[in-house]
Amino acid sequence: MTDHPWPGDACSLVDAMRAGEITPTEALELTLGAVERSALNAFSYLDTDAARATAAAADTALPFGGVPVAVKELEPVAGWPYTEASLVHADRVAEFTSTQVERLRAAGAVLVGQTTSSEFGGVNYTSTKLHGTTRNPWDPSRTPGGSSGGSAAAVAGGLVPIASGGDGGGSIRIPSGYSGLVGLKSTYGRIPKGPKVHQNPHTVTVGCVSRSVRDTARWFDVCNGYDPHDTLSLPRVDGWERGLGTLGEALRGRRVAVAVDLGVAVVHPSVAALVRSGAEALVADAGLARVDVPVEFPPALLEWAMSNLVTLAADLGDRYPACEGDLTLEVMLGINIAAHHYDLDMAAAAERFRVEMHEVMARLLDEVDFVIAATNPDVAFAAEGPVPMTVGDRDLLAEFGDVMRAGGNTGILTMPANFAGNPAISVPVGTVVGLPVGMQVIGRHHEEPLLLELAHVVERERPWPLVAPGAPC
């Protein structure tokens, strides 16, 4: 025993508990002590008494029995604050618990508390009027990403071994890439989002940020499967963790396109070189067949950004526009533009874009089995934001104008998988200037096990640090 939380992944912690090396109560107390000392601002709420009661009664025979787990604050847990990281909902308490969290509880997880998020999950860094700024454990002056930034900071920072996340435009993969973690965005509907779920615009999935591929596989073993509260959720699939390491022959000879920038992003040369090297190694290690096909996804324009704000308008209800002064700048600007300009013509343009993106992805995956790209175009930027409009010495606004302003560059590599509903996974492939770089692999619908197998190959052949250097572990 030390004064620091468990340094390994969640699965190894369960193994240690079953072997009698550490108890659930000891693991929880180490986590609570580390959270109290931490300057990362990764947590917005701790449920200390309930967590201690759960740990004392934990059944370590369960998949996550006794493991301290954190929940992203955009996900409701009955009796906990349900602020969505916004002053608008500062006093709101959740009246129900998400299906994902209920399934984690049933699997023995000890729910420690909530991790910070960007307001309503709207931007790719984590700094809000309600909770302040969350920091990257690799460099506290940088962001851990967003919107699952608090979860990434907590896991990479050594506070908890695994935490929940959500991904509507990259919000699991982006912080995983910035923070040196594993992040799987599943096929749309793989894990239910209910109850009382907003479906529009059919891009958001839920899952986790983790230290290892097997942790992510176990999470999906526990959480996936149809739930009547989410009518678009998919039937249950078993054997995610059990299948790791068994699909090597199924991968051999599969076709892969390496398109670091997906034909649409501006990627820093150092990041591009590292991802390209990681891709070449994975192609060799997994016995893939690299093919050259054109890859060029269209940028997301203003119409799509506006259509995403329909669910926010439903959430705000009659509080808007009186509440606009409580909103962070990006959210306020977005909802104001949508309120004044979103109409039938813009909705139609967004729908045409969605159809085009689906066709681009489908045609590409008719020719190849996987696409490898960077997760992020650069390393993590300033913790307080804003989202950068430069990459190296390139001024993106000067080059691209309103197209780049509307579509962004920070999330432009992750959004295609959300638009088309495809699974995509981010794994660490090294560092640039001491900061993590993620490599993303996109696959066909319902083929997450193959993506996990590819990630497992990377992990086995080129393992990454499980926590950031200098973290509490």
We report the CATH number of the domain holding residue 147 as 3.90.1300.10
Check whether the bond before 386 is cis (ω within 30° of 0): yes
Position 398 scores a pLDDT of 87
Q: Is 48 exposed, middle or buried (0-12, 13-18, 19+ CB in 10 A)?
A: middle
309-322 residue pLDDT tens:
889 999 999 999 99
Is 211 domain-assigned? Answer: yes
Task: Quote the pTM value.
Answer: 0.97
Residues near 292 by beta carbon (within 8 Å), at least 6 away in sequence: 257
In three-state secondary structure terms, 70 is strand
pLDDT digits (tens, 9 = 90+) for 51-84: 999 999 999 999 999 999 999 999 999 999 999 9
128, 129, 134, 139: CA torsion to nearest 10: 90
Indicate the average pLDDT of the chain.
Answer: 95
- Evaluate whether residue 314 is within a structural domain: no
What is the chain's alpha carbon radius of gyration, rounded to the nearest angstrom?
21
Other C-beta atoms closer than 10 Å to the C-beta of 237 total 16
Tens of pLDDT, residue by residue over 238-294, are 999 999 999 999 999 999 999 999 999 999 999 999 999 999 999 999 999 999 999
The enclosing H or E element of 60 equals: none
- Gap between the Cα atoms of 190 and 207, Å rounded: 9
439 or 198, greater pLDDT: 439
Contact 469, 450 (CB under 8 A): no
pLDDT for residue 306: 82
Domain that holds residue 179: 10-302+341-461
Query: Encoding tokens for residue 472?
Result: 């509490």
Predicted confidence at residue 303, as pLDDT, reads 77
Residue keyed to tokens 């001024």: 395
Taking the alpha carbons at both ends of the chain, their separation in whole angstroms is 11
Position 454 in a domain: yes
User: Cα torsion at 67, 473, 271, 128 (round to 10°)?
Assistant: 70
> Does 467 map to a domain?
no
The pLDDT assigned to 307 comes to: 80
State how many domains the chain has. Answer: 1
Give which of 435, 452, 57, 430 is closest to 286, Cα–Cα: 452
Task: Specify if 321 maps to a domain.
Answer: no
Annotated catalytic sites, by residue? 72, 147, 171
DSSP tag of 171: T
Q: Could you tell me if residue 472 is inside a domain?
A: no
**What would you measure as the largest C-alpha separation in the chain, in angstroms?**
63
pLDDT in tens, 360-374: 999 999 999 999 999
Residue 313 falls inside a structural domain: no
Report the C-alpha dihedral over residues 373, 200, 406, 74, rounded to 10 degrees: -80
Structural domain includes residue 325:
no
What is residue 3's predicted lDDT score, i.e. its pLDDT?
Answer: 85
- Contact call for residues 462 and 447 (beta carbons, < 8 A): no
CA-wise closest residue to 105 among 33, 54, 146: 54
Backbone angles phi, psi at 29, to 5 degrees: -65, -35
Q: Residue 357: what pLDDT?
A: 93
In the prediction, which pLDDT does 459 show? Answer: 98
pLDDT digits (tens, 9 = 90+) for 386-436: 999 999 999 988 888 765 555 578 899 999 999 999 999 999 999 999 999
Contact between residue 321 and residue 339 where contact means Cβ atoms under 8 Å apart? yes
Question: Residue 463 half-sphere exposure, CB side, CA atoms within 13 Å?
Answer: 8
pLDDT of residue 408: 74
Segment among 85-94, 139-148, 340-349 with least mean pLDDT = 340-349
Q: Are 455 and 213 in contact (CB under 8 A)?
A: yes
Q: Calculate the dihedral angle through the C-alpha atoms of 372, 373, 379, 384, rounding to the nearest 10 degrees.
A: -110
* pLDDT tens-digit series, residues 102-154: 999 999 999 999 999 999 999 999 999 999 999 999 999 999 999 999 999 99
Residue 180 predicted with pLDDT over 70: yes
- What is the structure's pLDDT at 339? 92
What would the pLDDT profile of 442-462 be if each residue is shown by its tens digit?
A: 999 999 999 999 999 999 999
